[in-house]
Amino acid sequence: MSAAYYIVVEGEPSRQSKLDGKALARDSRGINQLAKANGLPTLDDFFSLSADEAIACMANTLGIDIEEMSDEDTAIARKAGDDNWFDPSQGIDFCYRLTELIKADRALVSDAKSVLRDLCLMNTELKSLLLERRRWRFQIDY
């Protein structure tokens, strides 16, 4: 099983993302280093969870039901949830700038073709969200 970044839309948690995001996850270390070196946000800067999502994620990681979590674990998870949402224009700018960097030097990431495909899908989806005036964030599927 592999990890994948996917887009979650504010107010529409079950909306299906066209972004597969597996290439972004596979190459996330290189993408994040490239982004930092060029003054861009990282993929993880667009990641966010609500307090309830953080609690569910921790329970899943621990392999237990939420009701079985200790009060201490629940409090830690609740504090980890920051519930941030992003304007699509931020993601569109990220996609554009990162795409230009990778096109200029495909060796900057291990699988440029797949990463560029994911960035293109991400950009298309974010342009739709911009027209709809909807905010977004990344979540990661492991």
Q: Give me the domain span that covers residue 59.
A: 50-83
Whether residue 113 sits in one domain with residue 90: yes
The number of folded domains in the chain is 2
Whether residue 137 sits in one domain with residue 91: yes
Cβ neighbours around 85 below 10 Å, total: 14
Cβ neighbours around 115 below 10 Å, total: 24
Whether residue 72 sits in one domain with residue 60: yes
d(CA 125, CA 119): 10
Can you tell me whether residue 44 is helix, strand or coil? Answer: helix
Percent of the chain with pLDDT over 70: 93
- How many H-runs (helices) and E-runs (strands) does the chain carry? 6, 2
Residues of the chain with pLDDT under 70: 1, 51, 54, 57, 77, 80-81
For residue range 35-57, list pLDDT tens digits in order: 999 999 999 999 887 767 767 76
Provide the angle, in degrees to the nearest 10, between the axes of the packed helices 71-80 and 51-62: 130
pLDDT of residue 16: 82
Choose the final residue of a domain: 68, 83, 98. 83
Whether residue 9 sits in one domain with residue 76: no
pTM score: 0.82
The answer to whether residues 6 and 17 touch, using CB atoms and an 8 Å cutoff, is yes
